[in-house]
A and B are shown apart, each in its own frame.
Chain A
Amino acid sequence: MDILWFGVFAVLVLGYFALEGFDIGLGMLLPFLGRTQEGRDRIVAAMAPFVLANEVWLVAVAGVLFGAYPRAEGEVLFGLYPLVVALLVSWILRDAGLWFRRRADGRAWRAGWDWIICLASYGLAFGWGAALVALASGMSITPLGLAGGAAVAAALAFHGWTFVSWRLPGRVTGARRGGTALLVSACVAAAPAAALLAGSAPWIMDRTAPADTLSVLSIMILPLAPVMLGGQVWVWRTFGPGRAPERTLSFF
C-alpha cells in the first residue's frame, strides 16, 4: 500500500511537469514565437484546450500530499513559504491571463494579458527550479536556486517549443515534430522532478499516513482512476493534430 501510494504520488508529480510543462514553456515563448497578435492567438488557441486538464495534476499532487503524507505537507509547504507564495501568485496570474484575454475587445487589453501570461510563466518556471533545488538541499533557499530556475526554464521552453511544432507543424516554429519528439521533450521537462523524487523517496515514505487512512483513500480513489485517465485520453484524442480542423473560435 505504501509503495502504491508513492507510485500514485510520483505519477502525479511527473505528469504535472510532462503536461503543464509545455503550457508554461509556451507562455515563456509567447512574445518570441508570436510576434503579432494573430500569432499569439494561434499559440494560445493551440494549448488552450489542454490547460485545464494539465494544471489539475498539481492540485492532485497537493491533495495526495495532504491525504497520504500529511506530515510532509506541512514541512514542505512551510519550509518553502516564499517560493510557494511566488508560485501561487504566478499560477493565478497566468490563468487570469488565459481566461481574461479574450473577454474584452481592444488590442491593448489582449496584448497586456499576453505579457502577464509570459511573465507569470517565467515566474512559474524559475519558482519550480528554485523549489526543486531547495528541496534537494534540505529546504534552504540559496542563490543556487537561480541556476536551477534557469535549467527548469530551459527544459520547459524546449517542451513548449516541441509541443507547438507537433500541434501546428511548420506553422509557428517552422519545424515539424512527431509524437516521439514530444515524448522525449516531456521526459526532459519531468527529469529534474524525477531526480528529486528518486533521491527523496525514503524521506517521503517515512511520512506516510497510517494504513487505515491509506485504505480509505484507495477505496475512494482507485475505482475512479480509469475515469480520470479516460478523461485525459479523451482530451488528447479530441484536441490533438490530425483531427477535424478548428471550426470554432478558441475561448481563450
Chain B
Amino acid sequence: MDVLDLARTQFAVTGSLHFLFVVLTLGLAPLVAIMQTLWTFRGNPVHERMARFWGQIYVINYALGIMTGLVMEFQFGLSWSGLSHYAGDVFGAPLAVETLGAFFLESTFLGLWIFGWHRLPPKLHLACIWIVTLTAYASAFWIMAANAFLQNPAGAVDRGGHLELADFGALLTNPMLTFALPHVIGAALLTGGCVLMGASAYQLFRGSAEREFFTKSLRLGVVVAAVGAVVAVAFGFAQFGPLGEFQPDKFGGKPLAGAGLGFMILIGELFQFVVLFFLLPTVRWLPRWRWAHPIMMMLTPLPFLAAILGWLAREAGRQPWLIYGKLTVADAMSPGLTSGMVTTSLVAFTAVLGLLAVADYLLIARTVRRGPAAVTLGVPPGPGGPAPERATALSL
C-alpha cells in the first residue's frame, strides 16, 4: 500500500469503530432519559432500576465513542491538512460548533449525571440526562452537516484557490444533510431498540428472576426498533433523489460502495419485515414466547453491521473526491506525509482502539449477563446498597 492508501485505511478504521459505538450512544440516550423520566414522575422503582442498568451499558459504550472520536478529530490535521488548507474556512465551522456547542455540554453534563446519582435533586439530575441526549443529537446534526458538505459543497465559493463560506443557510439545508440525518437517527434508534430487545430476550430465555424488568425492556425495545426501522428505510430510499442530482456516479463501477449499499438495504428490509409484521403485532406475548428469544438475540448485531455498510456506501462512493467535484483525497493529504509515519500511527491506533473495543464489548456483555442487581451506576446509599467490598469508596 502506498501512503495514500495507508492514510485512508487509518481514517476508515477509526471512522468505522467510532460509528459502531456512536450509533448505540444515540440509540440508548433517549431510552435511558425516558426511563428516568417515568421514574421521576410516576415513582415505579422498576423504572429507576431500568435507567441505571441500561444507563450503565450506555456509559460503558460511551467510553469508546469518546476515544475513537478524539482520534477522528485530530486526524484531520495529522493526515488531511490539505482539507483545512483548502476548505477549513467552511468545513471547520460545523466541526467547531459541534465541539463547543454540543460535545462540550454533553461531556460536562454526562459527568454530572454519572456522578450525581443520589446527590443532585431528582429533577435536576433528570435534566442532566436530557441535556446529554439533546446535545448528542445536536452533535449528530453538526457532524452530518460537515459530512454533507463533503458530499455536496453547498454554501461555499472558490476565492483564489480556497473555499470561503458564502451562505451558511445553504450549508445547513444541504439536501445531502436533510435526508441523511433522519436516516442516521432512524438507524440509531433501531440499534438501541435491538440492544434492549436482544439483551432482554437473553435474560428471559435464561429464566431470569427479573421478569417485570426485562418484559418492560423487551417491549420498549421492540417498539423503538420498529420506529427506527421505518424511519431508516424511508429516509434511506428518499436519499436516492438528491443522490441522483448531486452524485449520479456514486455506485457506478465502485464495487465496494455498491456491495455496501446492497447488503445494507437487505438488512434494512429484513428488519422492516420482521419487526413490523412479526415482532410489533405480537409484542404483548413476545416476552413469554421462549422459542422467539433466540431469534431476537440473533437479530441484535445486524443493525451494527448495517451501520458500517451504510458508511462504506456513502464514503467509498464519493471516491476519488474528498470534497465532491472540488478537492480529491490525494490532494487533501498532508504534504510530506510518509509511509513510515502513517504505518506507525495506524498500527498504534488500530491496536489500542481495537483491543479497547473488544474489552468494551466484553464488559457490556458482562453487564448484560449479570443483570440489574450487579449494576454499580447510581447504587442507592444505605443498607442493601453497596456491597462490603465497595464500602471503602464510601469513606471518601
Contact = CB atoms under 8 A, between A and B. Distances in A.
Given A100-B363, A210-B165, A238-B120, A59 B77 contact: no
Nearest to A168: B396
Interface string A207-236: 001101100110011001001100110110
Contact of A249 (B82, B91, B394): B394
A104 B366 CA distance: 9
A214 to B, nearest CB: 9
Contact of A209 (B78, B92, B110): B92
A67 B392 contact: no
Interface string B47-63: 00000000000011001
Given A77-B74, A100-B359, A224-B100, A235 B111 contact: yes
Contacts, number: 244
A81 B348 CA distance: 13
B198 interface: no
A245 interface: yes
Contacts of B88: 66, 70-71, 73-74, 209
B123 to A, nearest CB: 14
A15 to B, nearest CB: 11
**Which DSSP category, helix, strand, loop or mixed, fits chain A's interface?**
helix
Question: Chain B interface residue count: which class?
Answer: 35 or more
Interface string A73-87: 111111001101100
Contacts of B379: 248-249
Nearest to B90: A213
Nearest to B346: A85
Contact of A103 (B79, B165, B363): B363
Question: Chain A interface residue count: which class?
Answer: 35 or more
Contacts of A249: 376, 379, 385-386, 390, 393-394
Contacts of B168: 216
Interface of B: 59-60, 63, 66-67, 70-71, 73-74, 76-85, 88-93, 95-101, 103-105, 107-112, 114-120, 164-166, 168, 334, 336-337, 341, 344-345, 348-349, 352-353, 356, 359, 363, 366-367, 376-381, 385-386, 390, 392-396
29 contacts: A45-B393, A48-B115, A50-B111, A52-B114, A59-B103, A59-B104, A60-B103, A63-B97, A64-B100, A67-B95, A73-B77, A84-B74, A89-B349, A92-B71, A92-B353, A92-B356, A96-B356, A100-B363, A209-B92, A213-B90, A221-B96, A221-B97, A235-B108, A235-B112, A248-B378, A249-B386, A249-B394, A250-B115, A251-B377
Interface of A: 38, 41-42, 45-46, 48-53, 55-56, 59-60, 62-68, 70-71, 73-78, 81-82, 84-85, 88-89, 91-93, 95-96, 99-100, 102-104, 168, 209-210, 212-213, 216-217, 220-221, 224, 227-228, 231-232, 234-235, 238-239, 243-251
